[in-house]
A and B are shown apart, each in its own frame.
Chain A
Amino acid sequence: MIVNQFLVLGALLFSIGVYGVLVRRNAVLVLLSIELMLAAVNINLVAFGAFVDDAAAAGQVFALFVITVAAAEVGIGLAIVVLIFRNRSSANVDELDLMKW
């Protein structure tokens, strides 16, 4: 069994996610790109879980944990985005310079 295909795909998806985080200026799109990066990591976890001798099912259990953390992160992140939009009428990350000195 070969895992290289999944690793290459995961690397490509992660790179697209990084590109989205760096390029998009809408805060919701930045969060979407972060979701893509987390999912790309999950491919690696599950593929290696099937590749190596994984008696404790560590790959799949860790993929579950990553999904859980992603869900929690999305809840908090989107609440923050909605709150910022309510206060400043904009979700553009370039205009959020409140903490810039």
Chain B
Amino acid sequence: MSLFDQLQDRLMRYLLSMGLSASDGEEVIQEAFLALFLHLQRGKPRHNLRGWVFQVSHNLALKQRNATLRNRQTLVEYDRMAAENFFVDEAPNPEDRMAGDERRVRLRNVWRALPEQDRRCLGLRAEGLTYREIAQVLDMSLGAVSLSLGRSLARFARADGR
């Protein structure tokens, strides 16, 4: 349970950023930890359990996503769901502007414009995963992870005209 306590919020943030609802995210996390229990019970490797749980959660979330897509929602609509989870107050209202929140909106727009895989890399890195773990979860090479993160951060840096 201590691993669950450590990872629950991190996993949920990642799943929300993938476009899952909080209730679907909870179910995915439960299933992932039940799978972990069986994994350990069968005497399977105990190294890098964090990466393992993220990988299983990611795959279950994709399955959930397929379930959504099969009901004739398009990828574009799914991306919109992911964006809505992330951008709670997408449209800048006058108060935001008065509070000098335009920069935040600009950064949100950068995130929205990123390719899905780049958003996932960034989301996993933000939750503390190493490049090796990210590569494992997303089935990418280490080089591809590093390029993706570099590309995304460069876009964030440019958002301020830096």
Asked whether A and B interact, the reply is: no
Please give the residue numbers on chain A whose beta carbons come within 8 Å of chain B beta carbons, in ascending order: none
